[in-house]
A and B are shown apart, each in its own frame.
Chain A
């Protein structure tokens, strides 16, 4: 069996159980809210139009955006709860995913239930009233049984939508089958992407068929079909959720990672070092760079690697450039003071934002620096990753060199290099530690006006873990241990098209290259 396929299969129980748990909770919660609301809506037009309108409105929001919106909302609520009740709650992961998916599941249930209830024959309703049924008796004896097949059809649609949209929960730190897709996309591991898609599709299909059996049973009034469908759902859910119940105990460290290969490798490296000390860890990957720092400050993840310039410009909102050491010192004191976040130290390499071109193209146009680029920019296209154009660094570069491109285009990082190779983009926002710079023969343009700050990779530790001896013991040997050559090589081993390594394998190679000893510490 393909090694990548085997690696993906090993992750399945964990991902599937989380995916099923999330979808199931969202669907149950969606039902619990939508059904009573739909009953109220079917009896009163004053409830019907606003609730259906609101549910339709939610549906027009892209599901990814809906997930993203709930994170800051929960963060603010958590801060309020911390201030008033002395207890916060995690704003990352399960919470925002559950809320977004619940909202997402509501429209089909709401719409079908209202349609089913209002579609009950008026004569039947009149008979129920004429016989002396109360409103509640009429609902449970007559209207709900008659509307049940239509309601079940809505539940089916909701289930399929929820299971599909749950793959996006990965982006707010909730493990799901989406981890395959996001990680695969990030490292161009199409086996992984396909595995995730197929797994999510099979799950949705199974749920749909079993719910369909229940719907069929209700429509044909064959109770055994209803029971068979329900039994299948319960058995499937128990099977899928069993890994959660078997999960071990003991404190677990949560390692954050952004959505590119280097972050995945470094998170694996930290995880491997913790394992060497007998500690369990889980990786929350594919986090956005705005989300990840706040998640650390709020204690939802314990440790991650960020870059000094990113923190300087985005978190501290500084636009000055006091140099490499100055930025590091300023960050260490300001982050500690402001958020009690511990900056443990730099890993030893920089991963700077840099504008890069194909070397041959740069030579022929005579471009070596950003100053040279400014003259040619109006005839060139800039391809950037998804966030560069909205970051202050871009604003600084744009202003310092007065860059005006013919066109600006966003790409997923891996596709950005493809676009450059294909000539779709002339200049890209590259990362200086990226292995593809050497492999693809790219020229990194110099920054004579120092518009871009330094980008030392630094380890950040959350306030709660700032004095955690075991974590610090695992992390300290990494300080200053990784040079840019080793990092580029590790990145390339994951990003290249042929003979790709998994981030875990690349991390092990990186540890060997950096001559990291297995930490000597309390072993179990």
Chain B
């Protein structure tokens, strides 16, 4: 994929998906530039997961078009498109019969890499997600939840995709581990120059990780702006309500910290 940051990498053009008459998402337009970290934020039924899965073809839109790096997504078999897009989701879905090493080698194997290159990539991936090299021979069942999701991220990065799609990736983890993993991933995103689209219902997570937040409601885009702009007074009442909680929490934490310093 040629071109520097800022070039449109993912373009959703009037894409829409309906399930049995009910609108799941869209029609919506959304353009994501190379290098961006975008959070799709919304409650359940807002269409955020549907929107994400339309990007890698796990869900085919009924109308409109998805364009990846200038080429229509439906112009090639969906499995070929997906091999170039990393995908991480809450349930992780590690292959339980394969070791960690074999799990993270699946992407390179699908891409047709040779054995030596796959082996070298395996070590590299484990160190990228801060797992010890010995983890390679373990089965997923022997790992903790946080370690498993690290393997999930490593596996998605396997064949070196430019785009990462993440669906509530850290949703099942406890808060401390979740925060650490989020920060680690944000650093990886920066370091590898990835373009990341992350679905979350957690406003704080979206605010802290993303460069840009797209707020969805009933399948439509309610707001699309930087975290700072959204936190400032936004015209849409829905967005204002959404930002109320983190703002109040931050103020309260700030007050507590000040009181601590004052004491």
Q: Give Cα distance in the complex from A221 to B138, angstroms.
A: 13
Chain A residues, CB < 8 A from B56: 130
Chain B residues, CB < 8 A from A130: 56, 58, 82, 87, 89, 93
- Residue from the set B93, B96, B106 with the largest chain A CB neighbour count within 10 Å: B93
A131 near B58 (CB under 8 angstroms)? no
- Judged by a CB distance under 8 angstroms, whether A129 is at the interface is yes
Chain B residues, CB < 8 A from A145: 97
Instruction: Kindly specify which of A34-42, A119-127, A201-209, A462-470 makes contact with the partner chain.
Output: A119-127
- Number of A-B residue pairs at CB separation under 8 A: 65
- Which of B121-152 touch A at CB < 8 Å? none
- Judged by a CB distance under 8 angstroms, whether A134 is at the interface is yes
Q: How far is the CB of B89 from chain A (nearest CB, A)?
A: 7
B93 near A121 (CB under 8 angstroms)? yes
- Judged by a CB distance under 8 angstroms, whether A133 is at the interface is yes
Per-residue B-contact encoding for A107-144, CB less than 8 Å = 1, 0 else: 00000000000000111111111111110010001100
Given A123-B89, A126-B89, are A131 and B96 neighbors across the interface (CB < 8 Å)?
A: no
- Judged by a CB distance under 8 angstroms, whether B83 is at the interface is yes
Q: How far is the CB of B54 from chain A (nearest CB, A)?
A: 13
A132 near B94 (CB under 8 angstroms)? no
How many residues from A make CB contacts under 8 Å with B? 20
Q: Which of A131, A137, A141 contacts B87, CB < 8 Å?
A: A131
Q: Nearest residue in A to B92 (C-beta to C-beta)? A: A123
Q: Nearest residue in A to B81 (C-beta to C-beta)? A: A132
Q: Give Cα distance in the complex from A225 to B93, angstroms.
A: 27
Q: How far is the CB of B86 from chain A (nearest CB, A)?
A: 9
- Judged by a CB distance under 8 angstroms, whether A146 is at the interface is yes
Q: Nearest residue in B to A135 (C-beta to C-beta)? A: B79
B96 near A146 (CB under 8 angstroms)? yes
B106 near A131 (CB under 8 angstroms)? yes
Per-residue A-contact encoding for B152-176, CB less than 8 Å = 1, 0 else: 0001101000000000000000000
- Judged by a CB distance under 8 angstroms, whether B253 is at the interface is no
Chain A residues, CB < 8 A from B62: none
Q: Which of A123, A125, A132, A141 contacts B79, CB < 8 Å?
A: A132
Chain B residues, CB < 8 A from A121: 93, 96
Given A131-B83, A132-B82, are A123 and B110 neighbors across the interface (CB < 8 Å)?
A: no
Chain A residues, CB < 8 A from B82: 129-132
Q: Which of A126, A129, A131, A132 contacts B91, CB < 8 Å?
A: A126
Q: Give Cα distance in the complex from A221 to B58, angstroms.
A: 31
Q: How far is the CB of B153 from chain A (nearest CB, A)?
A: 12
Chain A residues, CB < 8 A from B27: none
Q: Nearest residue in B to A145 (C-beta to C-beta)? A: B97
Q: How far is the CB of A128 from chain B (nearest CB, A)?
A: 8
Q: Give Cα distance in the complex from A130 to B97, angstroms.
A: 18
Q: Nearest residue in A to B139 (C-beta to C-beta)? A: A221
Q: Give Cα distance in the complex from A131 to B156, angstroms.
A: 7
- Which of B156-206 touch A at CB < 8 Å? 156, 158
Secondary structure at chain A's binding surface: helix, strand, loop or mixed?
helix
Q: Which of A122, A129, A142 contacts B95, CB < 8 Å?
A: A142
Q: Give Cα distance in the complex from A124 to B152, angstroms.
A: 11
Q: Give Cα distance in the complex from A43 to B186, angstroms.
A: 38
Q: Give Cα distance in the complex from A130 to B87, angstroms.
A: 6
- Judged by a CB distance under 8 angstroms, whether B71 is at the interface is no
Q: Which of A127, A131, A137, A221 contacts B92, CB < 8 Å?
A: A127
A123 near B80 (CB under 8 angstroms)? no
A146 near B94 (CB under 8 angstroms)? no
Q: Nearest residue in A to B155 (C-beta to C-beta)? A: A131
Chain B residues, CB < 8 A from A123: 89, 91-93
Chain A residues, CB < 8 A from B80: 132
Given A123-B91, A123-B92, A126-B91, are A131 and B97 neighbors across the interface (CB < 8 Å)?
A: no
Q: How far is the CB of A226 from chain B (nearest CB, A)?
A: 13
Chain A residues, CB < 8 A from B97: 142, 145-146, 221
B95 near A134 (CB under 8 angstroms)? no
- Judged by a CB distance under 8 angstroms, whether B227 is at the interface is no
- Judged by a CB distance under 8 angstroms, whether B47 is at the interface is no
Given A131-B106, A132-B110, A137-B110, are A126 and B93 neighbors across the interface (CB < 8 Å)?
A: yes
- Judged by a CB distance under 8 angstroms, whether B101 is at the interface is no
Q: Give Cα distance in the complex from A161 to B106, angstroms.
A: 39
A131 near B110 (CB under 8 angstroms)? yes
Q: Give Cα distance in the complex from A338 to B131, angstroms.
A: 85
A127 near B110 (CB under 8 angstroms)? no
Q: Give Cα distance in the complex from A132 to B92, angstroms.
A: 15
- Which of B191-231 touch A at CB < 8 Å? none
Q: Give Cα distance in the complex from A489 to B91, angstroms.
A: 80
Q: Give Cα distance in the complex from A122 to B58, angstroms.
A: 14
Q: Nearest residue in A to B103 (C-beta to C-beta)? A: A127
B87 near A124 (CB under 8 angstroms)? no
Q: Give Cα distance in the complex from A131 to B152, angstroms.
A: 11
- Judged by a CB distance under 8 angstroms, whether B107 is at the interface is yes
Q: Give Cα distance in the complex from A131 to B81, angstroms.
A: 9
Q: How far is the CB of B66 from chain A (nearest CB, A)?
A: 16
Given A132-B110, A133-B110, A137-B110, are A127 and B94 neighbors across the interface (CB < 8 Å)?
A: yes
Q: Give Cα distance in the complex from A90 to B70, angstroms.
A: 66
Q: How far is the CB of B251 from chain A (nearest CB, A)?
A: 39
Q: How far is the CB of B58 from chain A (nearest CB, A)?
A: 6
A127 near B93 (CB under 8 angstroms)? yes
B79 near A133 (CB under 8 angstroms)? yes
Q: How far is the CB of A130 from chain B (nearest CB, A)?
A: 4
Chain A residues, CB < 8 A from B79: 129, 132-134
Chain A residues, CB < 8 A from B89: 123, 126-127, 130
- Residue from the set A130, A134, A137, A146 with the largest chain B CB neighbour count within 10 Å: A130
Chain A residues, CB < 8 A from B94: 124, 127
**Residues of A with Cβ closer than 8 Å to B?**
121-134, 137, 141-142, 145-146, 221
List 9 other contacts, CB 8 Å, given A127-B95, A127-B155.
A123-B93, A126-B58, A126-B91, A127-B94, A128-B93, A128-B95, A130-B56, A130-B82, A132-B107
Q: List 18 A-B contacts (CB under 8 A).
A: A121-B96, A123-B91, A124-B94, A126-B89, A127-B93, A128-B93, A128-B95, A130-B82, A131-B83, A131-B107, A131-B110, A132-B110, A133-B110, A142-B97, A146-B95, A146-B96, A146-B97, A221-B97
- Which 3 pairs of residues, A with B, have the shortest CB-CB distance? A127-B93, A132-B83, A123-B91
**Residues of B with Cβ closer than 8 Å to A?**
56, 58, 79-84, 87, 89, 91-97, 106-107, 110, 155-156, 158
